[in-house]
Chain A
Amino acid sequence: MARTRPEPVQVVKQRRDAALNALVHGVPYVQFMGIEFERRGDELTAIMPFDEKLIGNPMLPALHGGAIAGFLETTAVIGLAWSVLWEEIETGVLDADELALGYLPRLPKTIDFNIDYLRSGLPRDAYARARVNRSGRRYASVHVEAWQDQRAKLFAQATGHFLMPARKDG
């Protein structure tokens, strides 16, 4: 029994990156904040490069708590949407080429979001990763960790609950 030949690596990468790119760059607020995502396999790291407009306390200076909240919420929503998309792209339920053309699936809706500010946000780049702790048909729970210079020293963390978009199949 002959196995189907695996696709060339660049084809797979190109498809996944195009899907992620469409997902991230389709949201005006994400663009406004300058947030980007880096992908390693299915793992995403969100990056918020420092910008003057993210400052909340010019005297210290420190990042605005609201900017940090927005960064973490974006990381959670994109991370959650991506985890669902990943499955659908890999199993062929969703066409990644259509996705890249802007036919985006509905994003999860935030029900609540709880942010802990552990230390003040320094005026430099920030990073965050989301972990989907529970992903059901209707509800999901996501935890986010954010850091700056040192991965082990979080400057903020958050937990949020999300309402999943209704699926086509049922």
Chain B
Amino acid sequence: MNPEKARMAEQFINAIPHCKALGMTLTDIGDGIAEMELPYDLRIVGDPETGVLHGGAVSALMDTCCGAAAMSHPSSPAGTATIDLRIDYMRAATPGQTVRTRAECYHITRSVAFVRATAMDDDTDRPVATATGAFTVEGKR
């Protein structure tokens, strides 16, 4: 991915209102791979007793990261929309820690991009969640 396209993708993603509201940012993008992070925030806790982040916030992070990976693929001309997304929650994210995710577009056709992602906190040996999804490839055919 050329630096110009990467910079545009970064601007585009960091300007999404829902991502801004959750405080997530894109940390790396290029050639079908994207990395994003979501800092811990008390406003998006799902279990007040333990302080663990809500699955919905992690879903939003993974959905955005998967979409970014799909868009950054060399064969993807433009935007994308999620067709479906499956998320497996392996364990609770540790309260207080940033959740980081890395998504990879591992196959793309003229119509569909197939993407998978893993989310971690500081303990990178044990994933917090994984996701697989199908995304639309817009603007071609």
A contact residues vs B (CB 8 Å cutoff): 26-33, 52-58, 62-67, 69-71, 73-74, 104, 106-107, 109-117, 120
**Are B15 and A65 touching (Cβ within 8 A)?**
no
State the CA gap A87–B55 with chains docked (Å): 26
Task: Given the known inter-chain contacts A32-B44, A66-B56, A69-B63, please indicate yes or no for A112 contacting B18, CB distance below 8 A.
Answer: no
**Are B19 and A64 touching (Cβ within 8 A)?**
yes
Q: 12 A–B contact pairs at CB < 8 A? A: A28-B45, A28-B46, A29-B45, A54-B21, A63-B18, A64-B17, A64-B19, A64-B63, A69-B56, A107-B47, A110-B55, A113-B89
**Are B16 and A113 touching (Cβ within 8 A)?**
no
State the CA gap A30–B43 with chains docked (Å): 9
**Are B59 and A28 touching (Cβ within 8 A)?**
no
**Are A33 and B56 touching (Cβ within 8 A)?**
yes
**Are A66 and B81 touching (Cβ within 8 A)?**
no
Interface residue? B3 (CB, 8 A): no
Task: Given the known inter-chain contacts A56-B18, A66-B18, please indicate yes or no for A32 contacting B48, CB distance below 8 A.
Answer: no
State the CA gap A39–B60 with chains docked (Å): 27
Tell me whether chain A's interface is mostly helix, strand or loop, or mixed. Answer: mixed
Q: Which residue of B lies closest to A59 (CB)?
A: B79
Task: Given the known inter-chain contacts A29-B56, A64-B63, A65-B63, please indicate yes or no for A112 contacting B86, CB distance below 8 A.
Answer: yes
Q: Which residue of B lies closest to A58 (CB)?
A: B17
**Are B18 and A54 touching (Cβ within 8 A)?**
yes
Interface residue? B6 (CB, 8 A): no
Interface residue? B49 (CB, 8 A): yes
Residue in contact with A66 in the complex, picked from B53, B60, B83, CB distance below 8 Å: B60
Residue in contact with B44 in the complex, picked from A28, A69, A113, CB distance below 8 Å: A28
State the CA gap A120–B81 with chains docked (Å): 8
State the CA gap A30–B44 with chains docked (Å): 8
